[in-house]
Amino acid sequence: MNADIRAWIDELKEIQEIHKKQKENLIELNNYFEYSGKIEEVKKEKNFKRVKDASVKIVTNDPVVQFYFDNLGYTLKEIAQVFKIQESNVSGRLDKYFKEKRECKN
């Protein structure tokens, strides 16, 4: 047999051996991560308790907070979609507003 052909056959055998070893060492993704049995909780939307009183009109400089009080049927997620901002931004603005109101009372 020609030396070039013999070298080519030997190289193919080596490649075949490498593929065989790789296949033996392959770990299925399901076997790699161990199932802990714990189920993650779904993050629930943060809702503030609101009472609609027609006699009380709240006026603020922040348009997001104002929208929150003017449209009591909207959730934080819906308000975020209206203003095209993140839900955490809406929540942060409301938290800041309520914190300032609490500080004013004290």
Tens of pLDDT, residue by residue over 3-46, are 888 888 899 999 999 999 888 888 777 777 776 677 777 666 56
Asked if the structure places residue 10 within a domain, the reply is yes
Calpha distance 10→18 (Å, rounded): 12
Asked if the structure places residue 94 within a domain, the reply is no
Asked if the structure places residue 60 within a domain, the reply is no
**57 pLDDT tier (thresholds 50, 70, 90):** confident
Asked if the structure places residue 83 within a domain, the reply is no
Asked if the structure places residue 18 within a domain, the reply is yes
How many domains does the structure of the chain reveal? 1
Q: Residue 26: which domain range?
A: 3-32
Asked if the structure places residue 64 within a domain, the reply is no
- Crossing angle for the helix pair 87-105 and 63-70, nearest 10 degrees? 90
Tokens of 35: 């199932």
Query: What pTM was computed for the model?
Result: 0.47
User: Would you report the helix, strand and coil content of the chain in percent, each value rounded to 5?
Assistant: 60, 0, 40
Asked if the structure places residue 19 within a domain, the reply is yes
Calpha distance 31→65 (Å, rounded): 49
Asked if the structure places residue 20 within a domain, the reply is yes
